[in-house]
Amino acid sequence: MKRKSPATRFLISLGVGAFLLIASGHVDELRAYQGAQVAIYAIAIASIVLLTGYSGQISLGHGALMAVGGYAAVIAQIHWHLPYPLTFLIGGIAGALAGYVLGIAAARLRGPYLAGTTLALAVGLPSLANQFHILGGEQGLQFDVGTAPTWVGKDFTQYRWFFWVAVVMALAIFWLLRNLLSTRYGRRWRAVRANPTAAALTGIDIAKAKVLAFTLSSAVAGLSGALFAMLLGLVAPLAFTLTLSFTLVTGAVLAGVSNLGGSIIGAIVLVAIPELSNAVATHLGGSDRVTANLPGVVTSVLLIVTVLLAPNGPKIPRRHK
C-alpha cells in the first residue's frame, strides 16, 4: 500500500476540518459539546496509542498527565494573564516536562511495574492537588476563556466555538503524529516494542527512545488536558480521577492500541456510552444509582469483550496497489 505524503495528509486534514466546521452550524449545543468532547478524547487516546502501540510502554495514569496540562494552562492564565491559545501550549509543555521525569523512571521499568507506577500517579495526584492552595483545593480553579471571537458572528455559540478549537487542534495533532510515526523515530519505537534486544543490537538507544516516546505522549496528553479544562470551564481533582485514566485506556483498546486513526472510533464510543446508558436506564425505569453506575458497567463489559474478541481493535479494510 502506497503511503500518503505529508502534503496529501495535510490536504485531507483540511478537507475533513472544513466539513466538520461547516457541519457544526447545523447541530444543537449538546451535539457541539459532544463533538468537542470526542475531539479531546481522540487526542488523549492518541497519546496512549503513541506510547503503548508504538513504543510498547503501558500507562494507566494518562488522566493525571491530562491534569498536569489542565492545571498548568489555568495557572498560566490566572497568574501570567496569557491568552488561552497560549495556555494550551503551556499545558503541552508542562505535560512534556512531567512525562520526561516519569519517562526516566519508565526507561528502567516494564510491564506491570511501569503500569503500577503510572497507576500510583493517577491515584495520588487528586489528593496532592487538594493540599495546595494555588491549585484551588477540591473546588479547583476556573478557566475563563471568554466568549467566541466577534469575527465568527454574534450568534456563534460558545460550545460551537469550543468544537472548532478542539477539532482544529485534533486534526493538527493527528497530522503531526502521523508524519512523525513515518520517520525514523516511529520505526525505532516499533523496533523497541517488537524486540528490545534486537533493537539494541542494531544500535538503538532503548532508554533514550523510551524517554522520548513518554515525553511526546505526555505532551499530547497535557494538551488534551488543557482543552478538557476549556470545555469544562475549570480544573478540579474530580475532573481528572482514576476513572478518566481507565476510560482512556478503554478507548485505546477499543481503537486498537497500534491504530492511530482508530482513536477517533474509541473517542466516539466513550462519548456515546453515557448517553446510551442513560437512555436504557430511563427506559427500564432504573433508579438514580443504576443511572449513575450503568455507564461504568457498560464500559467495563465492552473492554472485556474487545480484549477477548478483537484485541487489535477493529479491522479496517485496506486497498492494496
Q: Express each pLDDT in 51-91 by its tens digit.
A: 998 988 888 889 999 999 999 999 999 989 898 889 999 99
pLDDT of residue 257: 84
Give the mean pLDDT of 120-143: 83
Q: Which three cell numbers stand for residue 62?
A: 494518562
Which triple of cell numbers denotes residue 14? Answer: 483540511
pLDDT-derived band at 309, boundaries 50, 70, 90: low
Q: What is the pLDDT of residue 86?
A: 94
What's the confidence (pLDDT) of residue 314?
56
Calculate mean pLDDT across residues 290-307: 73
* pTM of the predicted protein model: 0.90
The CA distance from 119 to 47, in Å, is: 16
pLDDT number for residue 208: 92
> Which set of grid coordinates corresponds to residue 33?
459539546
Q: How far apart are CA 172 and CA 195, in angstroms?
A: 31
197, three cell numbers = 534486544
8-50, pLDDT tens digit by residue?
A: 887 888 888 888 888 877 888 889 999 999 999 999 999 999 9
Helix/strand/coil for 133: helix
What pLDDT score was predicted for residue 319?
Answer: 44
- Is the Cβ–Cβ distance between 210 and 57 less than 8 Å? yes
Q: Return the C-alpha torsion angle 72, 73, 74, 78, nearest 10.
A: 100
CB atoms within 10 A of CB 165: 20
Residue 151 or 252, more confident: 252
Mean pLDDT of all residues belonging to the chain: 85
Q: Residue range 235-240: average pLDDT?
A: 91
pLDDT band (50, 70, 90) for residue 320:
very low
Per mean pLDDT, which of 35-44, 105-114, 264-273, 292-301 is the most reliable? 35-44
